[in-house]
Structure 1
């Protein structure tokens, strides 16, 4: 199996990072020519070229010996440039990350690249895969209540009004595509600490905003992912840092 080959390679290379490429249904071991292989990796260009000659490269693989199971800031910059899924070996497991766009600066397209997409992709970078669901324009006016229908099924629990809000918690807000307050929860935002949220408001780029004033006023409820660990937030922080430092 591919994953067995990857785990064996990672074990053989430790404490240095292993690296390789998935080509079709085969894992190809590559040489790590980074100047500091115990903390970074760089695939030998000849190895990459040889893999391209073999067939389509479908994933980039490397390991974090003794590290954390999230893509680093440098990993995210390189992954977005590659446009490929990246597989990360850590703690004896292979963690697979789709090449999601940077969380900041996304162009809005309802149902495709919107507030729930930001939320879902952010959680994916933290190691959690949330379900997707169809979002038609003005669904809230057609008798649907998509967030309440999907939050609990997606593994979230609603917090009480007096609960401490932690980074990674999700605010549901009442906001329609025209930016107007509506009775139902139609918008999501992730709390990222320091009174800030990460979200994508209708017809605007995804961004950070201060959680106060208008946004606090239209907040409907607060939710926490049941499997969330404090360290998971590293996945979001690394992406935000990558976005800031790659511009």
Structure 2
């Protein structure tokens, strides 16, 4: 089994980071030639070339011995350049990360790259996989209430007015639906601390915004993921840092 081979290699390399590649249905261990292999990794170019000779490279693998189960800032930069899924060994488990685009600066395409996609991808980088659901144009005007129908099913609970907001909480907002008899929540944003939210408004790039005024006025409800731990935010913050450093 591929995962057993990966775990065995990681254990043999510790306290240095292991690295390797998944090609076809096999894990190929590679040599870590980084100057500080206990803190980072660099796959030997000869090993990469040899792996390419055996087939298509499907996944990049490395480990964080004694570290955290999230891709680091450097990992996210390198992953986006590779365009490949990355698997990370940490705490005796293999954590699998799709190659999602950077959370900032995404072009809007409803149902494909929109506010829910940002929310779903951000949570994925934090180690949580949220369900996807079909989103037709103007679904909120066609009798659907997709966010409310899917939040509890996706593992979220609605916060009470007196609950203190924390990073990772999700704001649902009513954009252009306040004229309806019952305004519907059709927009989501993730609270990232210091009064900032991360979201993608229709026909704009995904971005940070100050939460207040306009956004606060149209907030419908606030939700918290039941499996969320404060350390999970590392996955989001590392991606945001990677975007800032690559600009």
Partners in 2 of 1:140 and 1:246 — Cα distance?
A: 37
| Corresponding position: 1:107 with 2:107 | yes
Structure 2, unpaired ranges of 5+: none
Aligned match of 1:204: 204
Runs of 4+ in structure 1 off by over 4 angstroms are: none
Q: Cα offset for 1:162?
A: 1.0
For residues 1-247 of structure 1, the aligned pairs below 5 Å read 1-176=1-176, 181=178, 183-247=183-247
What do residues 199-219 of structure 1 show as CA deviations (whole Å, max 9, x unaligned)? 000000000000001000000
Partners in 2 of 1:181 and 1:52 — Cα distance?
A: 55
- After TM superposition, the score normalised by the length of structure 2 is 0.98
Q: Which SS does the other structure have where 1:96 is aligned?
A: strand
Q: Which SS does the other structure have where 1:201 is aligned?
A: coil
What do residues 55-95 of structure 1 show as CA deviations (whole Å, max 9, x unaligned)? 00000000000000000000000000000000000000000
- After TM superposition, the score normalised by the length of structure 1 is 0.98
Q: Cα offset for 1:181?
A: 4.5
Aligned pairs, how many?
Answer: 244
Q: Cα offset for 1:133?
A: 0.2
Structure 1, unpaired ranges of 5+: none
